[in-house]
Structure formats: C-alpha cells, structure tokens
C-alpha cells in the first residue's frame, strides 16, 4: 500500500517537474518574443 503511494507521489513529482521545466522554457521564449519588439520600439523612440 505504502509503496503504491510512493510510486504515485513520485510520478506526480516527475509530472510536476516536467510541467515546471516546460513552463520555464516557454515563458523564457515568450519573454524574448515580448522584449525584442519592446527593445526595437525603445530604440526607435530614442532616435526620434
């Protein structure tokens, strides 16, 4: 019984870890996609 619970806990932890890593990677690329245009706008505004 306890070993089954341990396996379940472990699989939940692994799943959570995978989701966490995926979220970090996607938010990193999302942040890059957002900051690049903002940097371009800032560059344009600084030249005006």
Per residue in 10-40, pLDDT (tens digit) is 999 999 999 999 998 888 888 888 787 888 8
Give domain limits for the chain: 3-40
Give pTM, 2 decimals.
0.51
For every residue of 12-47, which 3-state class applies, written as one string? Answer: HHHHHHHHHHHHHHHHHHHHHHHHHHHHHHHHHHHH
Going by pLDDT thresholds of 50, 70 and 90, the confidence category of residue 1 is low
């Amino acid at each position: 019984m306890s070993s089954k619970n341990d396996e379940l806990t472990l699989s939940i932890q692994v799943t959570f870890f995978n989701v966490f890593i995926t979220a970090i990677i996607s938010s990193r690329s999302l942040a890059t996609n957002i900051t690049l245009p903002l940097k371009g706008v800032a560059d344009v505004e600084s030249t005006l």
